[in-house]
A and B are shown apart, each in its own frame.
Chain A
């Protein structure tokens, strides 16, 4: 007799075996001819420039923070959802109060523009008559986006 988590464990075990089995069989079957170019970073056929690791834009972090808060909110929703039918309107109103308070925070971040995905405006080099191609230095961030 398996419990619900026992099934999850079974899935985990099968998943590990699946991945490990695939890697082991491919190791057994494939020819081994290593050379340095195979280890280089793939950059659409170009020679890679600079470091692979770039600084991420700060807005990812803010969005992740907002996500985390509402993640916690969802965790509170789960136990409520299992007993909500039993407890009736009282529990429903309580949860609505809970959600309304957090909605204030949502309205705040929305109003303050934290949810706006400000698109980068890369300065594309433009040809001007008689001047030639104007070189514009892109910052690392702009290149990344």
Chain B
């Protein structure tokens, strides 16, 4: 096993285990905090796939922004600490059908395409300048529209979250 594989399995382990804790933890604070490690592990996997910009974005937005927001959401909610989260099994048959469909289509997708996927090139080229060039030339309109979307999100979110006096 090469170093690459070792690092990959370490990050995959971190991601999967913390994701399990997120799902199965009874304490919602612990779930939120272990989501931090899930995001972090996914960022590590992005790095291993030579998606450096995506990895940094993952850290910056998901770990730095969304998780903080999530924790605030948890802490803002009253009586969230000592509440037993309902984890009973209901709707077993529809859930099984849905899971089977999703798992089947995903593995079908995987088996039909995995031969074409080559390992990422070892010569690391940073993707950020290429992304910047594309954003400024080919995808200029989506880029500007993104700012409008952000504007709408900002105004809408603050409007809804504002304390109504």
Q: Which residues of A contact B (CB under 8 A)?
A: 3-5, 9, 51, 53, 55-56, 58-62, 64-69, 71-76, 78-84, 86-87, 90-91, 94, 97-99, 101-102, 104-105, 108-109, 112, 114
Contacts and interface: CB of A to CB of B under 8 A. Distances in A.
A113 B157 CA distance: 14
Q: Binding site of B, secondary structure by majority: helix, strand, loop or mixed?
A: helix
B158 interface: yes
Nearest to B137: A87
B66 interface: yes
Interface string B60-77: 110011101100110111
B73 A61 contact: yes
Contacts of A60: 72, 76
Given A68-B66, A87-B136, A98 B158 contact: no
Interface string B105-124: 00000000000000000001
B136 A83 contact: yes
B23 interface: no
B135 interface: yes
A61 B76 contact: yes
A53 B129 CA distance: 45
The 4 closest A-B pairs by CB, nearest first: A79-B132, A83-B132, A105-B154, A68-B65
A55 B136 contact: no
B85 interface: no
Contact of A97 (B76, B144, B151): B144
Given A56-B72, A71-B60, A79 B162 contact: no
B26 to A, nearest CB: 15
Contacts of B75: 53, 55-56
B155 interface: yes
Given A62-B162, A80-B135, A87-B136, A102 B129 contact: no
Contacts of B147: 73, 76, 97-99, 101-102
Contacts of B124: 3-5
A49 B73 CA distance: 24
A101 B144 contact: yes
Contacts of A53: 75, 81
B98 interface: no
Nearest to B66: A68
B115 to A, nearest CB: 28
Interface string B36-53: 000000000001000011
B140 interface: yes
A58 B129 contact: no
Given A64-B72, A75-B61, 8 more contacts: A59-B163, A66-B154, A68-B61, A68-B65, A72-B65, A94-B143, A98-B143, A114-B162
A66 to B, nearest CB: 6
B148 A101 contact: yes
- Which of B66, B69, B155, B157 gathers most chain A CB within 10 Å? B157
